[in-house]
Chains A and B, each alone.
Chain A
């Protein structure tokens, strides 16, 4: 158990819908990262927040957005869902924003039908 929690574990929804994925980092960690993992793409970095502020951005679609709240939990919002958005979404956290080990949560498996 990494100490990072993600909810829900599984999510099944239809195309065009919007969903919110939630992540709570390890106690004491200020950085939160979101990743998408699909079978054909591997693990892709989406976005990083550090202490409430966006810190780094990867290959995140405009239909996706995220935020980190004052209590340091984070939410990833996915809208206008497409079949290709079906993937495992991982959240990770680290103590700082340097080259620190990232601890991954168990992931949310999103299926878009």
Chain B
């Protein structure tokens, strides 16, 4: 199966940088997504990595190492509105675009 592991909770300070890690089993892996989800709302797309390296998108960056089965999401210049759950999702090969989600990392941004 495709196990996606990420920390349950993290706390960071407004204006700081935080890194949320995600590890996964590499078998059948074909890309990794990061989504943001505020409580009771729909997940919204943040980033997608299929090749090794860093993808930067404004305050958010995502990194992938396929050989290590490892990804991280980097959030810079944290704002209070960044308090949310961050979901790591791996794409499984073999028909369609089946995403396996981790349980999410609940990020709390404090003053």
| Chain A residues at the B interface, C-beta cutoff of 8 Å | 2, 31, 33, 42-45, 48, 50, 55-56, 58, 88, 90, 94, 97-107
Across the interface, do B97 and A100 meet the contact criterion of CB distance under 8 Å? yes
Residues in chain B near residue A97, CB distance under 8 A:
96-97
Report the minimum CB–CB distance from A41 to chain B (whole Å). Answer: 8
Which residues of chain B have C-beta atoms less than 8 A from A90's C-beta?
42-43
**Chain B residues within CB distance 8 Å of chain A:** 30-31, 33, 40-45, 48, 50, 87, 89, 91, 94-104
Q: Judge whether A56 and B41 touch: CB under 8 Å.
A: no
Question: How many A-B contacts at CB < 8 Å in the complex?
Answer: 63
Q: Is the interface of A mostly helix, strand, loop or mixed?
A: strand
Contacts of A44 in B (CB 8 A): 101
Q: Which residues of B contact A56 (CB under 8 A)?
A: 94-98
CA distance A103 to B97 in the complex (A): 13
A42 touches B97 (CB 8 A): no
Instruction: Look across to chain A and name the residue whose beta carbon is closest to the beta carbon of B91.
Output: A99
Residues on the A chain within 8 Å of B40, using CB:
88
The answer to whether A42 and B102 touch across the interface, beta carbons within 8 angstroms, is yes
Q: Is the pair A45, B98 in contact by a Cβ cutoff of 8 Å?
A: yes
- List B contacts of A100 (CB < 8 A): 97
Smallest beta-carbon distance B83→chain A, Å: 18
A42-B102, A42-B104, A99-B30 given; A104·B43 CB < 8 A = yes
Q: Which residues of B contact A42 (CB under 8 A)?
A: 87, 101-104
Q: In whole Å, how far is A53's beta carbon from the nearest beta carbon of chain B?
A: 10
Q: Are B87 and A99 in touch, CB under 8 angstroms?
A: no
Instruction: Check A2–B42 contact: CB distance below 8 A.
Output: yes
A2-B42, A56-B95, A90-B43 given. 14 additional CB < 8 A pairs? A31-B97, A33-B97, A42-B102, A43-B89, A45-B100, A58-B98, A88-B40, A99-B50, A99-B97, A100-B97, A101-B33, A102-B45, A105-B42, A107-B41
